Amino acid sequence: MSYHQPVLLNDCLDGLNIKPHGVYVDVTFGGGGHSKAILKKLGAGGKLFAFDQDKDAAENVPADERLTFIPQNFMYMKNFLRMHEATQVDGILADLGVSSHQFDEADRGFSIRYESKLDMRMNQSGEKTAAKILNEYEENKLRQVFREYGEVDNAGRLVKLIVEARILAPITDTHRFKEVIAPCTPKYNKEHQYLAKVFQALRIEVNDEMQVLKEFLQQALEVLKPGGRLVVMSYHSLEDRLVKNFMKSGNFEGNAEKDFYGNISRPFRLVTKKPVVPAEEEIEKNSRARSAKLRVAEKV
């Protein structure tokens, strides 16, 4: 199965600061590129736990007794690590967003390039699809999804077109959806950017991505050993803001909390003061890398 090159691979490995006998977690296994590179740096006593809810990812798991693959959403990381008697770990890696494979599989409905069903489920056994959202959400909730998760400026007009169209017939495929919203879609070079925001908003809602990320970050703080590293790569500003604030302050608002004596309490030491971004050379080889931002923090 074809998966693209892992993004910022060496920076991720450097961020994890891998110890040969350490215990590590890759919560977004995908094509296994990051995991296989981690395994190369682990010794015989090292362990790697890899998570992925997409059943396609399971086909990429290498035969290695040091690797335990867990076919689950990483919001359940803490519970499954406990089941495998790994309550404390040395490093956690998360490469957020959609894999190149998911974008390239036309029938998954993630990409604006293909005509396909409006699906967008990362977990293909989940009940909520993009079509279900477009056809069943009431107007205010739909508008909130596009404003919050896509930062779509004309979300009101967009939703009015959707609501009017679905009365006549359900919106079930990408071709009809793009036709329905064409009157409020900018033309020429801005069309792609606009549709990408609209599709992003639907995908985030389908997969509950922001809540999953929050739960994951809180669990990461619990399961990391002192000195353990959290390495997170995000692909849009909503994710990056949550990651930045949590690494900086231990909460999602970014507010510094003080202890009883008035001292600022920070659960992490920032290893990267600013996000690491790919070089032009990497972006040329892998266009998915263009929007990647990598942040690394060490548990105090």
Per-residue pLDDT of 185-238, as tens digits, reads: 999 888 989 999 999 999 999 999 999 999 999 999 999 999 999 999 999 999
CATH 1.10.150.170 domain extents, the chain: 105-207
Percent of the chain surpassing pLDDT 70: 93
Residue 5 has pLDDT above 90, yes or no: no
Q: How sure is the predictor about 113, in pLDDT bands with cuts at 50, 70 and 90?
A: low
Query: Domain 105-207 is classified in which CATH homologous superfamily?
Result: Putative methyltransferase TM0872, insert domain (1.10.150.170)
State in words which class domain 9-100+209-299 has: alpha beta
Cβ proximity of 267 and 250 under 8 Å:
yes
Give CA–CA dist 118/130, Å, rounded: 5
Higher pLDDT, 161 or 1: 161
Within the chain, all domains assigned CATH 3.40.50.150 are found at 9-100+209-299
Task: Give me 17's structure tokens.
Answer: 């600061």
Instruction: Express each pLDDT in 131-140 by its tens digit.
Output: 999 999 999 9
Mean pLDDT of 165-191: 95
Check whether 1 has a pLDDT greater than 70.
Answer: no
pLDDT at 259 over 90: no
- How much of the chain, in percent, has pLDDT values that exceed 90? 81
* d(C-alpha 242, C-alpha 220), whole Å: 14
Residue 3 pLDDT grade (very low, low, confident, very high; cuts 50, 70, 90): low
Give the pair of three-digit tokens for residue 113: 């390039």
Q: What is the pLDDT, as a whole number, of residue 188?
A: 83
Q: Which two three-digit tokens encode residue 263?
A: 């001292």
Residue 73 has which token pair?
A: 């959403």
3-state helix/strand/coil string of 66-92: CEEEECCCHHHHHHHHHHCCCCCEEEE
Q: How confident is the model at residue 114 (pLDDT cuts 50, 70, 90)?
A: low
- The band of 287, judged by pLDDT with boundaries at 50, 70 and 90, is confident
Residue 169: pLDDT above 70? yes
Which DSSP letter does residue 268 get? E
3-state per-residue secondary structure call for 199-246: HHHHHHHHHCHHHHHHHHHHHHHHHEEEEEEEEEEECCHHHHHHHHHH
Distance in angstroms (rounded) separating the CA atoms of residues 48 and 25: 6
